[in-house]
Amino acid sequence: MHSVSVRVRAWLERMLADPFDQASSDAELDALYARYPNNATLVRERAALTCVGGGD
């Protein structure tokens, strides 16, 4: 399996393992926003994976 597929699958399995809880989700988001000064920093430091546009 391609490494990106492995990472996406692992992320999905983690998400599916726990039932959704709005209060927990809100608390986690609040903590992330408090820790990271902007979205770019959050994505750069916490994203499970990112895509970069390619050239020709």
Q: Looking at residue 21, what is its pLDDT?
A: 92
Mean pLDDT, to the nearest integer, of 20-33? Answer: 91
Tell me the average pLDDT of the chain: 84
CA distance 10 to 21: 20
Between the CA atoms of 31, 34, 36 and 16, what dihedral angle is there, to the nearest 10 degrees? Answer: 20
2 compared with 40, residue with greater pLDDT: 40
Q: Which residue has the tokens 């393992």?
A: 17
Q: Looking at residue 8, what is its pLDDT?
A: 85
CA distance 37 to 16: 29
Indicate if the pLDDT at residue 20 is higher than 80.
yes
